[in-house]
Amino acid sequence: MIPTIERTLEQDSECIDVLQQITSCRGAINGLLGVVLEDHISTHLVDAEGEAGGDRGDAREQLIDVVHSYLK
């Protein structure tokens, strides 16, 4: 991703082309961040046996939803 932005800058591309590359990279990074955060929440914010229990499982899902909403 970053090499693509560097090439775009080195080629003296139009600003809009550079901005499109940056936006594309940001979207990909945000998507990856969402996946990693969701995995962390699911793995580490439930009890050791993996039993989420009613309220805790609901809270976990709400937290995942909030994180995803901020990454859009």
- Write down the domain spans for the chain: 2-70
Residue pointed to by tokens 């899902």: 61
Q: What is the pLDDT of residue 19?
A: 95
Q: Which two tokens stand for residue 50?
A: 């993996």
The mean of the pLDDT values for the chain is: 82
Q: Is 1 helix (H, G, I), strand (E, B) or coil?
A: coil
pLDDT tens, position by position, 28-47: 998 898 888 888 888 877 65
Report the predicted TM-score, pTM, of the whole model to 2 decimal places. 0.62
> Mean pLDDT across the stretch 2-29?
93
Rg (Cα) of the chain, in Å, rounded?
18
